[in-house]
Amino acid sequence: MKNLTKHKFYEGTIYHKRFHPKVHEFKYNFYLLDIDLNYFENLKNSLFSINKLNFLSFKTKDHFGKSDDFLQNVNELLEKFNIKKTKNMRFFTLPRVLNFVFNPISALVVFDDNNQATHLLAEVHNYNNGRVVYPILLEKKGNSYVGKVKKDMYVSPFFKTDGVYEFQLKYDENKLFLKIDLFEDNEYKLTAIFNSKAKDFNKKSSLNIFLKYMFSTFLVVTRTYIQAIRLFIKGLKIHSPREQDKERRY
């Protein structure tokens, strides 16, 4: 893997498929912002700001930690999970659009000195104001990095709180592929796949992303509720959140 030193937009599609107890699938266009933490302070242009109102923006308070300094929060998170800080770390997330956002999942990926991914910290939010950060040890498998972690937060009313997530990451300067599989009681329940191509982070691409996804937060939330209604109609069992699933953990 080449040394990546610039922010990117990765634009592509999200594909979801549930396997049990009813098959249910859908697909839609989606994007993520890839932030090179070495150049975090350069994450701005006339349409994109850090901690300021703009067409697109990155807000520190949307993510882990309590400090207004995002890099400080990253360092404290790495210390909490006993993960060594490196010279090459990337953060994948959705920016705010006109100051609104909902991030189902963001990911901090840590690379070693040989540019091999070693850890993925998955920050997961639910619709109950809950958040958890899962530390995942990655191993190289072919042209991918894979890892798994125990689930410990209510996300969907149609899945249990516990289970196992398995992650697969493919990443270079041109493409980002992230696959998440959910297992409950050793049964394959869900796959979610983000498959995308890179666009340079600049004013032109920021404008393009804004025009195409200005209603992204509304659509993410709306699609979630529409799919939930469809699953309810199919007769799936509903689970309730615990109190800790309504808190911002880590």
- Structure confidence at residue 65 (pLDDT): 84
- Structure confidence at residue 4 (pLDDT): 44
- Structure confidence at residue 77 (pLDDT): 95
- Structure confidence at residue 240 (pLDDT): 74
**Angle CA(46)–CA(63)–CA(102) in degrees, nearest 5?**
75
Is 172 in contact with 1 (CB distance < 8 Å)?
yes
Main-chain phi, psi angles of 189, to 5 degrees = -105, -35
Rg (CA), the chain: 18
Q: How confident is the model at residue 224 (pLDDT cuts 50, 70, 90)?
A: low
- Structure confidence at residue 59 (pLDDT): 95
Handedness of CA 70, 173, 137, 32 (dihedral sign): positive
Which one has a higher pLDDT value, 5 or 117?
117
- Whole-angstrom distance between the N-terminal and C-terminal Cα of the chain? 31
d(CA 74, CA 250): 11
pLDDT, tens only, 16-54: 998 877 777 888 899 999 999 999 999 999 999 999 999
- Structure confidence at residue 126 (pLDDT): 85
Q: Please choose, from the candidates 64, 94, 59, the residue with its C-alpha nearest in 3D space to the C-alpha of residue 79.
A: 64
Contacts of 231 (CB under 8 A, 6+ apart): 18, 22, 24, 158
- Structure confidence at residue 239 (pLDDT): 65
Q: How confident is the model at residue 217 (pLDDT cuts 50, 70, 90)?
A: low
Of the ranges 67-71, 194-198, 219-223, the best mean pLDDT one: 194-198
- Structure confidence at residue 249 (pLDDT): 78
Q: Please choose, from the candidates 103, 160, 159, the residue with its C-alpha nearest in 3D space to the C-alpha of residue 132.
A: 103
> Can you spell out the DSSP letters for 90-159?
EEEEPPEETTB---SEEEEEEE-TTS-EEEEEEEEE-TTS-EEEEEEE-EEETTEEEEEEEEES---TTS
38-47, 106-115, 163-172, 228-237: range with lowest mean pLDDT: 228-237
Token pair 């697109």 is found at: 56
* Burial status of residue 59 (CB atoms within 10 A of its CB: 0-12, 13-18, 19 or more): middle
